[in-house]
Chain A
């Protein structure tokens, strides 16, 4: 069985935020919730890097470990999903996740936490595939139609990769080997633009 993973290539991400917008549009996410976000390191400084982050669909997910009502499950494709009918909105997954993936719409009384919402790898929820109920709660179910998550599918620089972990890592490994060759060649764009540039320039 395939194990679905995201990988964001920081050497390619240009912080266009199109993945964020596409996700919101495709899944009609609740107000105030961002299932995906682009984070920039050293913004404006030479060698800045951006990464698109959402749920990592961990193999051993801490959100599932801490959930007091055990509402998480991992699909056969290795996608971590949750059941909004069981979720009680306690916020423990939000504390346990290192990536800040679980989000809470503030629709409860006194602006308390509603049902948790997070990236579903465009795989919907426990409801019947592509049913109206599923779409209303979790957004679109592209995986059941044989499509990959929209954020990765429409990434203009193919920085954000999604799919079977073996395929994703093969693509990335190929890129790294090519980059490694450039680094050994010295002075090729990747090295000069990389985070190590400042250290290299200091020596010169």
Chain B
């Protein structure tokens, strides 16, 4: 055996033994406990660890008496920052754009849902003036809150490069103050909405069929519905439940002097923002179906009256009820009704002019 091959074998032997040794080390490391050497921690690291542990036990005090003054480190703050900057802004934008695109695609593919039989001219009364005013107050306040909220969420990367810091600050400040002032109006109209519409929005027989048929997307014929169909009822409950959650969390955020801790406010903001994104996303569907999406639907919220053909196609059970109770208004009577309103307006105008 030459010297060269001997060195070669020695090297191979060395590497193999090293490999075995490393494997053993790994195995020992995986199963065995702490090394035997004593650990001397820096007093600082232990202190901060203690602080984090004490956050829950409440052994920390301060002579400065204000909310959370005894919380040395709120580690949830970092989690909240990450939520807002990486999850809320990104996924929020994706959700809103996705829902908008889906609605647009649906419109392109399916087009406007027209009344198959055309209009009959016979009308039925659907919503009272009070209900319509309530709806539009809630709708306008909601749109205002959604716009101002989205400005505060997405405004910084979009508007600051366009307007500059000073002008955007005025804009954002107005948004914040407006958002805070109109929030309670939303809550009040939401509660009124809860009372005046709740009876008609309790799920009934036939709603399951609506769900199974995907609200009429599956199959050709129209699906069954009462005064409100299953989709409208679900929209109502989304508005009420998420609306109440948004309002409650909003009140916690808007009144910092109630003595609530930062963690409560951070959680409220999470609920507030997720709820708002969901509500805005679903409201886009409601706005589409109420205006461009289906023929004749907007009439009910404009005048309070709908064509009986529209009722028969979208709300067959309610239409049957209208037929049974003889609530139909003929085309002439309806024209008179409308004319009367116009005439009344003319008369009152004339009277004012006479004065």
Contact = CB atoms under 8 A, between A and B. Distances in A.
The bracket for how many chain A residues form the interface is 35 or more
Contacts of A183: 40
Interface stretch (A66-74, A130-138, A142-150): A66-74
Contacts of A190: 43
Interface in B94-108: none
B257 A41 contact: no
Given A106-B257, A195-B46, A17 B63 contact: yes
Contacts of A34: 64, 66, 69
Contacts of B54: 41-42
A99 B78 CA distance: 11
Contact of A85 (B41, B43, B166, B266): B166
17 contacts: A34-B64, A34-B66, A37-B62, A37-B63, A38-B64, A39-B70, A41-B47, A41-B50, A41-B51, A41-B54, A41-B59, A68-B152, A68-B155, A95-B265, A98-B77, A100-B69, A110-B255
Contacts of A128: none
Interface in B128-179: 152-153, 155-156, 160, 165-166, 168-169, 172-173, 176
Interface string A52-86: 01000000001001111111000000000001011
Interface of B: 40-44, 46-47, 50-51, 54, 59-64, 66, 68-75, 77-78, 80-81, 84-85, 152-153, 155-156, 160, 165-166, 168-169, 172-173, 176, 180, 253-257, 262, 265-266, 269
Given A92-B84, A95-B266, A98-B78, A37 B64 contact: yes
A70 B165 contact: yes
Contact of B77 (A62, A88, A195): A62
Contact of A88 (B50, B71, B78, B172): B172
Contact of A100 (B152, B168, B262, B269): B262
Binding site of A, secondary structure by majority: helix, strand, loop or mixed? loop
A41 B42 CA distance: 17
Given A68-B152, A71-B165, 6 more contacts: A37-B63, A65-B81, A89-B176, A90-B176, A180-B40, A183-B40
B59 A100 contact: no
Nearest to B171: A69
A111 interface: yes
Contact of A41 (B60, B176, B254): B60
Interface in A157-204: 176, 179-180, 183, 190, 194-196
B73 A99 contact: yes
Nearest to B151: A68
A33 to B, nearest CB: 9
A30 interface: no
B168 A69 contact: yes
Contacts of A17: 63
Contacts of B69: 34, 37, 39, 100
Contacts of B84: 66, 92, 96
Binding site of B, secondary structure by majority: helix, strand, loop or mixed? helix
Contact of B255 (A37, A111, A195): A111
A112 B181 CA distance: 11
Contacts of B61: 39-40, 43
B74 A100 contact: yes
Contacts of B46: 195-196
A66 B66 CA distance: 24
B72 A195 contact: no
Contacts of B153: 68
A21 B253 CA distance: 30
A191 B27 CA distance: 37
Given A39-B69, A85-B169, A86-B166, A113 B62 contact: no
A51 interface: yes
A37 B72 CA distance: 10
A88 B169 contact: yes
Contact of B85 (A65, A83, A86, A106): A65
B256 A112 contact: yes
Nearest to B51: A41
Nearest to B59: A42
A196 B173 CA distance: 50
A12 B63 CA distance: 18
Contacts of B40: 180, 183
A85 B168 CA distance: 12
Nearest to A179: B43
Which of B61, B68, B156, B168: most chain A CB closer than 10 A?
Answer: B61
B60 to A, nearest CB: 5
Contacts of B42: 176
A49 B47 CA distance: 8
A94 B68 CA distance: 11
Which of A15, A41, A90, A95: most chain B CB closer than 10 A?
Answer: A95
B71 A100 contact: yes
